[in-house]
Each structure stands twice: as C-alpha cells, then as structure tokens.
Chain A
C-alpha cells in the first residue's frame, strides 16, 4: 500500500526541569534551628553566608562544619489514573546531604578586618518518581546540586557598623531523565524511549552585607546575595530509542542555563532578657529571573528540537522568626518557624518540582562540652500545602503534597 517517507517529528515532549523552591536555607545549624533567621546576629562563622558584614565581629578565628540530611517526599494524586479513588504516587525515598564549611574571623585580636572562606550548598533539588508513573513523559527523575565557594572580607567601620563582601564561585551538576513516547524494539520490559541529560555547570556571583549593632541587645542586618547563572556547557544528552530512530535522536551535547535567584534579606535581632534572643528575617527572592528553561542541543534534527519550557516564576517574600534561649553556660535551645510562599504560579506546577507554599517549623540545641568547642543539632520539618496544580505546557495536572524532614548536625571550634 503506502510507501511514503515519514518525517517523524517526534518531539522531546516537554523536557523540563528543576525549578521551584530549590533554595535550601540550611547554611547554619543554629540559624536553621531558629527558623532560618540570622541576618542580624553574627552567631558564628556561618555568618559568612548569612551576613558577611558579621565576620569582623567574630571573636577569634573559628572553624565550622555542618551537614544536613534532607528527606523529602512528594505525593501525587490524580483520579484519572485508577478511576474512583486516585493513585497516590510517591517519590522514592532519598536523602540529600548538603554541607557547610566555614573558616573565618578577625585577622588579629584588635583588628577591624575579618577574613573568611565559606563552602556551602545553598541550592539543590532532587526528585525520583517511579519510571512508569503517570507523569513519566515530563519527568522521571531530576537532580540538581550546587556548591558555592565564597572567600570573604569584612570591615568593622565603627562600633555599630560593619560591612562585608564575598565573591562567589559556584559549581554544580544537573541530571535529568524523562520517558519519550517512542515505542518498540527496546527490550523485553522497556516500553518507552528515554532522554537522559547530564551536565556540569559553573557560575559566579557575590554576597554583600551590612551588620548594625545599635545596642548590645538590638542588632540589624541587611544583605544581598546576587543571582548566579549556572551555565551548563557541553552537557551530555543521550536518547534511548528504537534502532530505526537512532539518527533522529543522536547522542549529542547540550547547553543550558539555570538561574539561581538573587536574595535580599533584612533581619533584626533583639535580646529582651539576658538569656533570650529573638530574631526576625525577611527574604525577598528574585525568582522571576526564571522565565523559561532552555536546552540547546549541539545537533538538532527534524525530530530533536531545542527545548523551551515556560516557567514564569514570581518573586517571593519569606518571613522567618526564631528564638534562642540559653539554659546554662553549656546548653542553649532554639526554636523557630517560617512561612515560605512558592515562586511557582498556577498553570506552571510541573512535577519536576511541584512546589507549594510551605510552613516550616524548626528546633535545635547547642552544647559546649569543653572550652572552644560547640556542638549543634537541629531539626526542620517542612510541610507544603496540598496543591491542586496544573502544568499547562505539558498538559498535566493533579494534586501534590510535599513534606520534608531535615535533621542537621554541626560543630565549630574557636581558636
């Protein structure tokens, strides 16, 4: 019968990726335990991240290390999957371990200058759905990791004002897998083709801050962490497709850009009682720089096109409160809470990061077992609002519910 050519313009349906609230806010254990506040008060060397202006106020040189264990879980429900009651698909259990390392302090006992180096992981995301889940043609798994290196200088201009600035070099990686609606000849139990993108990324930015000590018991902070554009150059794109389509989907390289948004933070710390400190922070995050996700392939074909997935994130204002209470000269306890609205707008709720407004509750404690050494532990529970969201670009919708449990430990030593 028919012997005509097929111009099979199979599209990489809606390749999409990491988005949403992939900002972590876990850069200090004590700050994390206090709801993520820390812009106003230079508690320890993690102020290199929270407010570089605080480094010149540290007592001596401090070495700081900590690690968090993020255990996120997202559930997805959709009536279409099984009829009367929905499926309740969940992401696979995974534990992510962002870490922080800081060293810094005043260069001499009476110096106005402070120096520091921070190595930390401010952004990251990971999600692993079942390979055969309902949204497999949008995402099967995504993993985004970043590490920031930030050398920092700080200057105490007066008794009440100190400022600081750090240069940020960022390195990271991205890994993305998505099923392709192409069938046949792929193996006994493999039904779909697959796209697998993997690349390393680098970027630069800065972190500046001012710390104001109006009074021993009343301090203010103001910081700006710049946007960092993570550029993937020459990442590898691999496609698992039937033999007859190998030429249409060649293994190739890709370029991409992930904007990590800039954040303006303002904070206040107040010590109403000798043992009690209260903090309030506001973070304004410039998510709207994340307008669309782009993948440009080195080699395109009639079937393989560059990807443009709209994101249209909106800026968010996060409110954080925390307290620290010193029980004794050895032990302090902390608690806090945050309301973290999502940057993801309706119509753009993609299953690669189906973000929703989150309520975060935190607690923690610090112990000073011996002179100079402080051990910290914290726990954060993050509860996303159940969200009925759609991703119009991919024609995908459903109900999402995300939670995360994040224990963290750390210690620092003052020399």
Chain B
C-alpha cells in the first residue's frame, strides 16, 4: 500500500507545479524617442465626451493611454512622467452639464432611454483656471475643444473659447503661440497631432448651414464662420505652421487623419426613412398635400421624410441623405415633422452637403498625408479606422461599432468617443507607430476602461 502513497505524493507534486503562460517581450522604442510626449488636438484629443469636459474623460483620453504605454518602454527612450493634462476638477461637466442616460416620456406616452443633461451641480469655479506648479506650468496635452486648423493664427482666440481660456499660457495670443510655448516648455521628443475634424464638423452639425465650398471668406481678419468649411489653402498653411512648431525641437510624431464625419452616430442614428405609415388613407393624404413636389412616394410602410433642402425648397428626402440626431423626436411623432410639415434644414444633410463634407475630408487628408511624407512621419489613417469601426471591431469579446450607445465606443453626444473608444484609438496609433518606427509598444487593454453607464 506504500506505493499508493507514493502515487499520491507524485500527484501532489504535479499539482503543485502549475502552468504558466508568461509572455515576456520587452517594449522597445525602435527608431523613436518617447521621453517627452506632447499631444495637440481638438475635442477628440482633449478627452471631451458626453457633450462636456470632465476629469474622468480627460484621464481616459487617448493621449493619456498612449503615455501609459510609452511609459512601459524601459530602453532609455520610454516616456518619463509626469504627463500633465489641464484637468478640470469635477465630473459633472465643464462648462456645460454632461449628458447621462435617463428614461424620458415622449409626447405619445412611450417611455425610452435618452441622453439628458445631468442635474448634478457643476463646479465651474474650481475648473475655471488651470495652473500647474510642476516644471514651470508644464502641459503635455494641448487640446482645445472646438479648435480648428483655421483658428491657429487667430490672435486672442482663447478669449471667447472657455476651454482655451482656462489654461492658455497667454490668452491674448494665437493658438500657434500657445503651441510654441508648450513646445519650449516640454521639449517634446515625440508628439501626436490630430487636428482638422472641427474644420468640417461645424458645417456638418449645422446641417450644412454654412459655406461648404472650401472657398469661404473670413468674417473679419482671419476669423472664419464656425459653420463654414475651412478653405484648402488656409488649412494647408496653418497645418504646416503647427508642424513647424512641433518639430522645432527635432521631435518625431504621428499625424492622425480625419475620419468620414458623416459616419459618426450623430448622423447615422436617425433613419431618414423613419416615416412609418400604417394606413393607405394617410399615404394618399400626404400625396395630395404636396402637389408641387416631384418624385414623391408615400405608401404603407417606411417612407422618406419631407424635408426643406439647403436652398429652402420642400421635397422628399432621397436615399443616402442624413438626419441629425438632434432633430426633436416629439416634433416628428406628434407635430407632423417630416410628414405634414417639412423637417427644417438645420437637421438635414442633403446629398450635395454630404458631398461637400466628404470632399473636404479627402482634401484635408491629402494635405496631412503630404506633410507626413515630406517630413517623414507616420500617417495614422483614422478615416480607415472609423470605417472599420462602422463595420465592427471585435475586441476581447466585445463588438465595438459606430452604433449609438450599443456600439460601445461613442459617448452620449454621438460624436466623441468614450473611454473605450479612446483606448481603441490609442491602439490604432500604437499600431502605426510600431510599423513606422520599428518599435514594439504593447497595446492597451480597451475593456478595462469604462463604457456607457445605464440607469
């Protein structure tokens, strides 16, 4: 029977020797140097989301994720902290209350979930001025919600922009001066630049109520209307000036391109053919209601809405045209918008407006790509990334997409990414950096960060 004990002992030893699956590939910097990292951008880079700026949004920005991954490099060229962002102090929104999901009752008595402004108190005073005592006011993320490439040379830009005013070195100067000041202060060895989205976005969210021809003229001096698309020449010159500033200390960096804005959930959530007709009688009524509208079709089932187009004419929308997420649901459900009354043009992107947007994105990306080539920097194709996202990215068991709320990547404002979306962007940038600089930077774990919160 002793042999049975012997078998038991062997079994115990075997059980004590547990498997291990360590993967030990050290992170390396390749041909790049990530010691001092500086991020420059607009709301997409600031960690803005849920229609506001919050401290948790900022701490989940993609530059923060990139810094953390750069910090894992221990070959002497990894990031050295601290990575300082101009943090607000509260989580309820600055300067506007952030959006939260809540149940709302609609005009027809139906109850559903929708984003509403939080009723929790704001802390605007505490968030007002950002002063950092570390290293002579160091700021590593120079990002300003609403900042356009068009705004780069605008003297006193920070005056009317609360996001810039609260931390700009000298609010009376140009955003370009701010960038120079931070470059001088941080001495970046590496930077990321994601500007240009807002140069098109203003036109898109206004329903095309601006000059989309890229031939707009300034309102005064060099200030462009926020609903206009930036002219090509202005974009090219200003973007180049930013890059000259960022590379003035010899830094390398990654240039992020502009996604197809019309694929954001802000423009894709509300179906243009959402006019559901149940009775033939109502369809006939609508047919009779618009004698001057050509090529209209109303029948039982899903129909395209009646809209007012960009020249003020009334017509039925055609496939491909988009309805903004902001169109009041109750006006459609109970006040006849889209059926007995046209949907106002500020809620509609028509075929030609969509073409203006897409042409601008293509044109601006051309300039960004040319700069990347000329300056020998990696071009991070964010247009392609958002296209992939719209068809779905499966990551560690979650399907991310551009679907509003359920897609898991966007915040409640339907334009900006949430913490997980920002982490996906960080991984996309890391992929491009690794390919270009032959570095080996590990990806971040996207699912670790918060997603949309439900009531």
Q: Mark B18-30, 1 if CB is under 8 A from A, else 0.
A: 1111111111000
User: How long is the Cα–Cα vector from A400 to B5 in the complex, in angstroms?
Assistant: 32
Tell whether, in the assembled complex, residue A403 and residue B7 are in contact, meaning their CB atoms are under 8 Å apart.
no
Neighbouring A residues of B113 by C-beta, 8 Å: 5-6, 8, 244
Least Cβ–Cβ distance between B306 and chain A, in angstroms: 19
Determine the residue in chain A with the shortest Cβ distance to B404: A6
Neighbouring B residues of A76 by C-beta, 8 Å: 21
Is B207 close to A, CB under 8 A?
no
Is A308 close to B, CB under 8 A?
no
Tell whether, in the assembled complex, residue A4 and residue B269 are in contact, meaning their CB atoms are under 8 Å apart.
yes
User: How long is the Cα–Cα vector from A242 to B452 in the complex, in angstroms?
Assistant: 12
Tell whether, in the assembled complex, residue B11 and residue A11 are in contact, meaning their CB atoms are under 8 Å apart.
no
Q: Which of A1, A8, A364 sits near B326, CB closer than 8 Å?
A: A1
User: How long is the Cα–Cα vector from A242 to B325 in the complex, in angstroms?
Assistant: 25
Tell whether, in the assembled complex, residue A134 and residue B14 are in contact, meaning their CB atoms are under 8 Å apart.
no
Q: With contacts A3-B104, A83-B69, A244-B454 known, is A396 near B397, CB below 8 A?
A: yes
Tell whether, in the assembled complex, residue B11 and residue A405 are in contact, meaning their CB atoms are under 8 Å apart.
yes
Binds B, one of A56-64, A85-93, A219-227, A262-270: A85-93
Determine the residue in chain B with the shortest Cβ distance to A86: B23
Is B151 close to A, CB under 8 A?
no
Neighbouring B residues of A78 by C-beta, 8 Å: 23
Tell whether, in the assembled complex, residue B7 and residue A363 are in contact, meaning their CB atoms are under 8 Å apart.
yes
User: How long is the Cα–Cα vector from A367 to B4 in the complex, in angstroms?
Assistant: 10
Q: With contacts A83-B72, A137-B398, A395-B396 known, is A242 near B7, CB below 8 A?
A: no
Q: Which of B184-211 contact A (CB under 8 A)?
A: none
Tell whether, in the assembled complex, residue A378 and residue B326 are in contact, meaning their CB atoms are under 8 Å apart.
no
Tell whether, in the assembled complex, residue B447 and residue A73 are in contact, meaning their CB atoms are under 8 Å apart.
no
Least Cβ–Cβ distance between B330 and chain A, in angstroms: 7
Q: Which of B11, B110, B115 sits near A2, CB closer than 8 Å?
A: B115
Tell whether, in the assembled complex, residue B397 and residue A395 are in contact, meaning their CB atoms are under 8 Å apart.
yes
Tell whether, in the assembled complex, residue A6 and residue B112 are in contact, meaning their CB atoms are under 8 Å apart.
yes
Determine the residue in chain B with the shortest Cβ distance to A388: B23
Tell whether, in the assembled complex, residue B406 and residue A393 are in contact, meaning their CB atoms are under 8 Å apart.
no
Is A84 close to B, CB under 8 A?
yes
Q: With contacts A90-B18, A134-B445, A405-B11 known, is A365 near B4, CB below 8 A?
A: yes
Neighbouring B residues of A405 by C-beta, 8 Å: 11, 14-15
Tell whether, in the assembled complex, residue B14 and residue A8 are in contact, meaning their CB atoms are under 8 Å apart.
no
Tell whether, in the assembled complex, residue A9 and residue B22 are in contact, meaning their CB atoms are under 8 Å apart.
no
Which one of B399, B403, B444 has the highest number of Cβ atoms from chain A below 10 Å of its Cβ?
A: B399
Neighbouring B residues of A182 by C-beta, 8 Å: 451, 454
Q: Which of A5, A79, A135, A136 sits near B23, CB closer than 8 Å?
A: A79
Is A215 close to B, CB under 8 A?
no
Q: Which of B18, B22, B112 sits near A85, CB closer than 8 Å?
A: B22
User: How long is the Cα–Cα vector from A3 to B4 in the complex, in angstroms?
Assistant: 72
Q: Which of B342-401 contact A (CB under 8 A)?
A: 393-399
Least Cβ–Cβ distance between B365 and chain A, in angstroms: 27
Least Cβ–Cβ distance between B398 and chain A, in angstroms: 5
User: How long is the Cα–Cα vector from A73 to B14 in the complex, in angstroms?
Assistant: 11
Tell whether, in the assembled complex, residue A399 and residue B117 are in contact, meaning their CB atoms are under 8 Å apart.
no
Q: Which of A175-193 contact B (CB under 8 A)?
A: 178, 181-185
Neighbouring B residues of A393 by C-beta, 8 Å: 394
Least Cβ–Cβ distance between B79 and chain A, in angstroms: 12
Is A157 close to B, CB under 8 A?
no
Q: Which of B26, B395, B403, B414 sits near A395, CB closer than 8 Å?
A: B395
Least Cβ–Cβ distance between A77 and chain B, in angstroms: 4
Neighbouring A residues of B51 by C-beta, 8 Å: 1
Neighbouring B residues of A75 by C-beta, 8 Å: 18-21
Neighbouring A residues of B403 by C-beta, 8 Å: 9
Neighbouring A residues of B99 by C-beta, 8 Å: 1-2
Tell whether, in the assembled complex, residue B21 and residue A400 are in contact, meaning their CB atoms are under 8 Å apart.
yes
Is B408 close to A, CB under 8 A?
yes
Determine the residue in chain B with the shortest Cβ distance to A5: B112
Q: Mark B415-455, 1 if CB is under 8 A from A, else 0.
A: 00000000000000000000000000011110100111111
Tell whether, in the assembled complex, residue B455 and residue A403 are in contact, meaning their CB atoms are under 8 Å apart.
no
Least Cβ–Cβ distance between A285 and chain B, in angstroms: 24
Tell whether, in the assembled complex, residue B22 and residue A88 are in contact, meaning their CB atoms are under 8 Å apart.
yes
Tell whether, in the assembled complex, residue B396 and residue A2 are in contact, meaning their CB atoms are under 8 Å apart.
no
Is B8 close to A, CB under 8 A?
yes
Tell whether, in the assembled complex, residue B114 and residue A5 are in contact, meaning their CB atoms are under 8 Å apart.
yes
User: How long is the Cα–Cα vector from A394 to B400 in the complex, in angstroms?
Assistant: 11
Neighbouring A residues of B110 by C-beta, 8 Å: 5
Q: With contacts A3-B106, A76-B21, A395-B395 known, is A407 near B101, CB below 8 A?
A: no
Least Cβ–Cβ distance between A206 and chain B, in angstroms: 35
Neighbouring B residues of A136 by C-beta, 8 Å: 397, 447
Q: Which of A74, A137, A386, A403 sits near B397, CB closer than 8 Å?
A: A137
Least Cβ–Cβ distance between A191 and chain B, in angstroms: 8
Tell whether, in the assembled complex, residue B455 and residue A401 are in contact, meaning their CB atoms are under 8 Å apart.
no
Neighbouring A residues of B159 by C-beta, 8 Å: none
Neighbouring B residues of A10 by C-beta, 8 Å: 406
Is B132 close to A, CB under 8 A?
no
Q: With contacts A3-B104, A381-B14 known, is A398 near B397, CB below 8 A?
A: no
Is A377 close to B, CB under 8 A?
yes
User: How long is the Cα–Cα vector from A303 to B407 in the complex, in angstroms?
Assistant: 12
Determine the residue in chain B with the shortest Cβ distance to A74: B19
Tell whether, in the assembled complex, residue B21 and residue A88 are in contact, meaning their CB atoms are under 8 Å apart.
yes
Least Cβ–Cβ distance between A374 and chain B, in angstroms: 13
Least Cβ–Cβ distance between A391 and chain B, in angstroms: 9
Determine the residue in chain B with the shortest Cβ distance to A244: B455
Q: Which of A183, A386, A396 sits near B453, CB closer than 8 Å?
A: A183
User: How long is the Cα–Cα vector from A182 to B420 in the complex, in angstroms?
Assistant: 13
Q: Which of A4, A9, A71, A377 sits near B329, CB closer than 8 Å?
A: A4
Is A298 close to B, CB under 8 A?
no
User: How long is the Cα–Cα vector from A94 to B18 in the complex, in angstroms?
Assistant: 13
User: How long is the Cα–Cα vector from A185 to B453 in the complex, in angstroms?
Assistant: 8
Tell whether, in the assembled complex, residue B406 and residue A3 are in contact, meaning their CB atoms are under 8 Å apart.
no
Least Cβ–Cβ distance between A342 and chain B, in angstroms: 16
Least Cβ–Cβ distance between B249 and chain A, in angstroms: 27
Tell whether, in the assembled complex, residue B1 and residue A403 are in contact, meaning their CB atoms are under 8 Å apart.
no
Tell whether, in the assembled complex, residue B442 and residue A80 are in contact, meaning their CB atoms are under 8 Å apart.
yes
Is A243 close to B, CB under 8 A?
yes
Is B336 close to A, CB under 8 A?
no
The 6 closest A-B pairs by CB, nearest first: A137-B397, A395-B394, A77-B21, A184-B453, A83-B72, A75-B21
Can you identify 18 A-B contacts, CB atoms within 8 angstroms? A3-B116, A4-B327, A5-B112, A6-B405, A75-B21, A83-B72, A90-B19, A137-B397, A137-B447, A178-B397, A181-B447, A185-B453, A242-B455, A365-B4, A378-B7, A379-B7, A394-B397, A405-B11
| Other 14 A-B pairs with CB < 8 A, given A386-B21, A403-B17 | A2-B99, A2-B414, A5-B110, A77-B23, A80-B442, A84-B25, A84-B442, A135-B397, A138-B397, A242-B454, A244-B101, A244-B455, A377-B3, A398-B21
